Structure 1
C-alpha cells in the first residue's frame, strides 16, 4: 500500500507532496482508497461532503467503530501526515482478519477530504461540514489562490456541490472514532515509546493580517516618504515570535501574499496569515492580542492601514475520557502501574478533534524520531509503523469484536 501511494502527488523538485483537495493528485488518492476498499470486499460509499467510507458490516446497524484519517497534504508536505492513518487502518483490518476476529459491531475506514486546508485556507473542511461546524454558506465562499470556489472545484472533480452540508444521520451511526497519526513532535522519541495516546488538542486558529500601504517606485521614493506595508509585516513577524516565547506558546507567519509583487515596487498590500496555538485558551488569547497590538503600533508608525480577520478557530479538545481510558486498558496500561502507553497532548489539529463535539473520538500517535512534520523530511521507522498497526488492531478488536 505504501509503495502504491508513494508517487502520487510527489513533486520531483522538492520531494514533498502536493495532494490538494479536488485536484488530480487528490483524485488518484481517492481512486486508491476505493480500490483498497473493494479488494477487501468492503462496502464503499462517498458521502455528501466528499468523504470516503469503506464499511465492514451494516452501516445502518449503529454503534459503529470507525478509524481512518486523510490523504491530502500541505504544500510540499511529508508522506506520513494523514496517509499513515489510512494505510494503518486497512492494515489493521487485515491483521484482525488474520486473527479470525469476530465483529460484533460495524467497522468503517474513512478518508476525510481537505483536512489540511492547503487549497482553500480552511482546515478539516470535510469533517467540519459533516459535523455542521462549517455552514453551507461559508463553504460556498471558500476560494483558492486562483479564485476558484470550493463548489466549482468539487463540480470539476465530478462531485455534486449542491449536496454538501451537515450529516447528523451518518454521525449518529458511529459509536467511536479512533484516528491513528504520526506524532508531530518528539515526545515519544524522548520517552522511548513507539505508540502514544492523545489526551487533548491545543486550541488553535488562523488570523489574516492585511497591511495596506502605498505602491511606489523602489528606486525614486525617499525612505521618509514611503508607506511600506512590508516593514510593518516584518516587524509583526518578529513580534509573533517574541509573544509566543514569552507565553510558552507557538505563533507562525507561514504564508504571505504581496501586491503588486514586483522587485522594483514598494508594495501596496502585504497579506500574512498567522497560525497560533497554546496549551489553554487564556494563553492563546494573550499571544494573539499581543501580536495584534504590536502590529497596529507598527502600522501606525509607518502610515499603514491594518485589518485583522480571524479565518478559523478550534477551541481546546479534550478527547472523551471514557474512550481514552478504555483504549489505555486495551493496550495494557493500568493507572496504578508504570505507563506502558504514554498519554500526551498535541498542538496539531485533526479530524478527530473536529468530530469530538459530535461523537466519542480518540487518537493514537506513532513515534516520529525527528519530530519534523509538514515537510519532506517527515519520517517514521517501519518497525514503529508496524507497532502502530498492531496497537490499532488491538484497539479495534477491543471496541468492535466479541
Structure 2
C-alpha cells in the first residue's frame, strides 16, 4: 500500500497559517485550489478519470461512472489555525486505499462503480455554512441562498466561484449525481478522546450529534470614548461580552450540551470609539434537537437581559437602547449512519468500536440521501481545529488499511444477487 504519511507529507507546507502555527486553508480559495490541483495530479497519475462538477466537487473515477457507486473521500479546507489532519487525512487515505485495491487486483473483476471525491468548503469557515459543497450537491441548501452568502471581506459566494472556474448559474442540487451513489464512506481523524484509552486505532462512526450555528448581533449607539459619560452609553460590546461570559454556565446546565463562541466582530473597531454594533457566532451541539433549542432559548433570554442592562439611565432617557437580533445560519439534526452499511463495516472490522462524534462532516449531509458511514482514526492528543491535532504514522497506516478493507468488501456487495446497497 502507498504510505499515506508520504502523501500527507506532500501537502504539509501548503496553506500554513501566516499568523502563527497551524493551517489556513479557506474554502473556494487559491490555497484550496492548490490542494485540489495536488489531488487531481495524484489521481491522474493513477489514471483515474477526474472531473470537477458544477459545485466544485472533484470526482476521480476508477471505473466508468454508474449507478450504485461506492464513493470515498473527504475535504481539504481547514478552519483558521487548524490542524494538519482534519480533512486531508481522509483524502490521502482514499488515494492510498485505491492503490491497495489496485494492487490486490480488485478491479480486474467486475465491481460496483468506484470514485474518490473531494468536497469544498466543508468547514464553513469562509461563508459560515459548513459542508457547503455537499449541501449544494444534495439540495440541502438552495443555490440562490448559498450564492448570496458573504465572507468577511464582503465578497459573495457568487463573486468568488467565478474566480474558481465555476459558473454560479450551474451550481445547485444534482439529483442525477446523488442517485449514482450507492454508498459513501468517509475516513476522518478523530476529533475527540474516544480512542485515546483503547488499543484500537480505528473506530466506526455511529452518529453525528445535532449542531447549529447562530448569528448574534447587538446594536447600540456609537459615540466618543472620551466624552460620553458611562451613564449615557448604550454599548453593545458590554452586552455581548457579558453574554459570552455567561454562555459556559448556561450550557453546563444541560447535560452533555456544548456551546461555543469562536468568532466575534466589533464595528467600527476603533480604539477610541464606543462601538455601534458587536456580532458573534454561536455554535451549539447536543444529540437531542429539543435540548439544542432549549440551550438557544436560555442564551437568547440572557442576551436580552444583558442588552437591557447595557443601556445606562441617561441613554434610556434619550430613547437609546441596546438591541439584540438572533438569526440561524445553519442547523443539522442528529444523524445516524446507515445501519446495514455499518453492519457490513463491522463484519470487516470486528474489533473497531462504534463512536459518535460531535463534529459535522460531509458524510452527515449525504446520509440523508444515500447510505453513508465513517471511519475515525485515533488522535493521541484529542485536540482538533488547532495545531495540536495529531495522528501517529502507524495509526494513519492502519486507517488507510481499514478503509481499503471495507471498500473491497463494499465494491463486491450485492453483485451476485443484484441487490443495491
TM-score normalised according to structure 1 size: 0.96
After superposition, the C-alpha distances for 1:295-353 in whole angstroms (9 at most, x for unaligned) are 0111112231000001111111011111111101111x2xxxxxx21101111000000
> What is the aligned partner in structure 2 of residue 121 from structure 1?
128
> What is the aligned partner in structure 1 of residue 83 from structure 2?
78
> What is the aligned partner in structure 1 of residue 36 from structure 2?
30
1:136-215 map, 5 Å = 136-215=143-222
Question: 3-state SS of the aligned residue for 2:92?
Answer: helix
Question: 3-state SS of the aligned residue for 2:197?
Answer: helix
- Report deviation, 1:159: 1.6
> What is the aligned partner in structure 1 of residue 95 from structure 2?
90
Does structure 2 retain, via aligned residues, the 8 Å contact 1:14–1:376? no
The equivalent position to 2:259 in structure 1, one of 237, 251, 254, is: 251
Does structure 1 retain, via aligned residues, the 8 Å contact 2:17–2:80? no
Question: 3-state SS of the aligned residue for 2:253?
Answer: helix
1:242-321 map, 5 Å = 242-247=249-254, 248-303=256-311, 304-321=322-339
> What is the aligned partner in structure 2 of residue 336 from structure 1?
none
Question: 3-state SS of the aligned residue for 1:48?
Answer: coil
Gaps of 5+ in 2: 1-6, 312-321, 414-421
- Report deviation, 1:197: 0.6
> What is the aligned partner in structure 2 of residue 219 from structure 1?
226
> What is the aligned partner in structure 1 of residue 243 from structure 2?
236
Q: Does 1:134 align with 2:141?
A: yes
The equivalent position to 1:50 in structure 2, one of 53, 56, 63, is: 56
After superposition, the C-alpha distances for 1:371-401 in whole angstroms (9 at most, x for unaligned) are 1111111111000000100110010011004
Moved more, 101-110 or 165-174: 101-110
Does structure 1 retain, via aligned residues, the 8 Å contact 2:114–2:411? yes
After superposition, the C-alpha distances for 1:231-284 in whole angstroms (9 at most, x for unaligned) are 111121122211211112110111111111011111110001001101211221
> What is the aligned partner in structure 2 of residue 10 from structure 1?
16
- Report deviation, 1:113: 0.9
Does structure 1 retain, via aligned residues, the 8 Å contact 2:200–2:352? yes
After superposition, the C-alpha distances for 1:10-37 in whole angstroms (9 at most, x for unaligned) are 1244132111122211110111111011
- Report deviation, 1:190: 2.4
Question: 3-state SS of the aligned residue for 1:187?
Answer: coil
Question: 3-state SS of the aligned residue for 1:188?
Answer: coil
Question: 3-state SS of the aligned residue for 2:71?
Answer: strand
**RMSD (Å) for aligned C-alpha atoms:** 1.2
Aligned length: 394
The equivalent position to 1:364 in structure 2, one of 375, 382, 403, is: 375
CA distance, structure 1, for counterparts of residue 258 and residue 134 of structure 2: 25
- Report deviation, 1:181: 0.3
Moved more, 211-220 or 96-105: 96-105
> What is the aligned partner in structure 1 of residue 384 from structure 2?
373
After superposition, the C-alpha distances for 1:191-249 in whole angstroms (9 at most, x for unaligned) are 33210011111110000000001112222222222111111111211222112111121
Question: 3-state SS of the aligned residue for 1:154?
Answer: helix
TM-score normalised according to structure 2 size: 0.92
The equivalent position to 1:385 in structure 2, one of 396, 400, 407, is: 396
CA distance, structure 2, for counterparts of residue 13 and residue 164 of structure 1: 33
| CA separation of 1:29 and 1:210: change in aligned 2, threshold 3 A | same
Gaps of 5+ in 1: 334-339
The equivalent position to 1:323 in structure 2, one of 341, 348, 357, is: 341
